[in-house]
Structure 1
């Protein structure tokens, strides 16, 4: 999915308002209209002059300079900036921007918004203007999927008309820039980056090694390390070396009435154990030459006790 150029204006009727979406359960999550999280008209859009032509509504010959009052914050900026007036539609599928004067717009997938942040344009200590900074990664047409062309876009939403004041005290409303930033954040979370092949392959280690159980153990498809039970409805065969299953029928052979472990009368271990398993060594056998202890100790006096692993 990549940025798409749009020639027809977006309309609020193309979307489902967020408040309406939250009040009902849609009949289909696939065929329903995108949910509109934020809408603003007459917003200012800035990009560096050197990046003209990278977005369709910023033609290469655009010469419109930023307008007041926000332009006063660019006095100390060395790189020139150009401005367009746009309408914003932050919806659950993409970030849609349309410029009436250029008669075109774009639908930007959230995966191409690599950075978004609130930016404060400061003209003076007493004059600040909140904006939203976006860094867009656009495919540059290279041979690799990693070839991107970066665009720095600044959006400055203008104050929208507010409803009549209420007599009930309410907290101060969020700035338009804050509402725009939060809407982009929420919609970005709804559209995570696609998982690349092999990123979540945790079934084996780096060398592809896996634990393989021999015998009649039928694995359940889609689950790692989960095996089907016996065909008669009982438990699956015990794993090699596990010693079998403890069930209600034989639990008395392993635990007393107080729940203390007593072991089985005839402990049968399925599978073959390694060489030396079960061998008990006396201290006299381990007294010398174990882990280097006891070798060359006679000259120093009594040998140290052998270390036990």
Structure 2
């Protein structure tokens, strides 16, 4: 499931601190508590009013609007709702908890399609936040909705600039997201992994079916070169191998080289001893031009 609703906040004891995890070799990498990379208590979280209810930490009846000098002006085209949340970035999931509503949610990292640093406000009131886009709903559901939210962590009392806190939060989300790569679609057709297509070059718009770039194989390797191309085909040299109808024509510079030429008898075959010496011990007629064989 991409999200799970929780009714009680996480506890510090539920996690292994990152510093402790990195200071020792764990007995196992498969059991034990999730590793806590970062915690941001009381972070401001903004979401569009039209998306209220998409996550349980944003109740459908919430009315609190963004506060602080970085809040958008009243004339903003998008009406936002603000909630104060605790953010737990751990190796298992991203956890948000709303103490006022006494409800939280765990979010799987593959659900977070985009996350980025964002500058909010203008002039002296500028702050750094994290903008996230999430694809909610079942992974097999084509009608899954997109939810966008902005996190603005509160700066500790001993820090004047909240930018460093936001940066640490962003890096923690990035590190944990890397632990949960998108699953491989086993239904993909392997026959499509060696396609060569071209895109964005008007010169080759006439080549119907060639509208992208060279695509690697499904195992992470590269597809083989086209026969006779002596290398990779790119948008710069495609005209040397395909005509305007998309038909394979070979390398124009080397066209005809090595093609249609028949090799002589015995080409590619290694001679044996009996072929290089006659039965009666006499040498071949061309043996004088060769070095003597050492027994």
Short-chain TM bin: 0.5 to 0.7
Equivalence for 1:187: 176
Of residues 98, 123, 126, the one that matches 1:125 is: 123
Structure 2 CA distance for aligned equivalents of residues 48 and 18 of structure 1: 33
Equivalence for 1:148: 144
Match of 1:115, SS? Answer: strand
Q: How many residues align?
A: 201
In the alignment, structure 1 residue 134 sits paired with structure 2 residue 132: yes
Cα distance change of structure 1 residues 200 and 157 upon mapping to structure 2, 3 Å threshold: farther
Equivalence for 2:97: 98
| Aligned counterparts, 1:112-261, within 5 A | 112-122=111-121, 124-139=122-137, 144-162=140-158, 175-199=164-188, 201=190
Name the larger-Rg structure.
1
Structure 1 CA distance for aligned equivalents of residues 154 and 44 of structure 2: 8
Equivalence for 2:245: none
Match of 1:175, SS? Answer: helix
Cα deviation, residue 74, structure 1: 3.7
- Check the 8 A contact 1:117/1:133 in 2, yes or no: yes
Match of 1:89, SS? Answer: strand
Structure 2 CA distance for aligned equivalents of residues 108 and 151 of structure 1: 12
Match of 2:126, SS? Answer: strand
- Check the 8 A contact 1:2/1:138 in 2, yes or no: yes
Structure 1 CA distance for aligned equivalents of residues 162 and 48 of structure 2: 31
Cα distance change of structure 1 residues 74 and 115 upon mapping to structure 2, 3 Å threshold: farther
Match of 2:100, SS? Answer: coil
- Check the 8 A contact 2:127/2:163 in 1, yes or no: no
Structure 2 CA distance for aligned equivalents of residues 95 and 109 of structure 1: 7
- Check the 8 A contact 2:153/2:162 in 1, yes or no: no
- Check the 8 A contact 1:89/1:96 in 2, yes or no: yes
- Check the 8 A contact 1:57/1:99 in 2, yes or no: yes
Match of 1:111, SS? Answer: helix
TM-score by length of 1: 0.59
Cα deviation, residue 89, structure 1: 0.5
- Check the 8 A contact 1:40/1:160 in 2, yes or no: no
Cα deviation, residue 125, structure 1: 2.3
TM-score by length of 2: 0.62
- Check the 8 A contact 1:86/1:100 in 2, yes or no: yes
Cα deviation, residue 173, structure 1: 9.1
- Check the 8 A contact 2:57/2:96 in 1, yes or no: no
Cα distance change of structure 1 residues 200 and 12 upon mapping to structure 2, 3 Å threshold: farther
- Check the 8 A contact 2:128/2:163 in 1, yes or no: no
Structure 2 CA distance for aligned equivalents of residues 76 and 138 of structure 1: 30
Match of 2:145, SS? Answer: strand
Structure 2 CA distance for aligned equivalents of residues 69 and 14 of structure 1: 35
Structure 2 CA distance for aligned equivalents of residues 153 and 5 of structure 1: 18
Structure 2 CA distance for aligned equivalents of residues 13 and 68 of structure 1: 33
| Aligned counterparts, 1:75-94, within 5 A | 75-94=74-93
* Structure 2 stretches lacking a partner, 5+ long: 196-267, 275-295
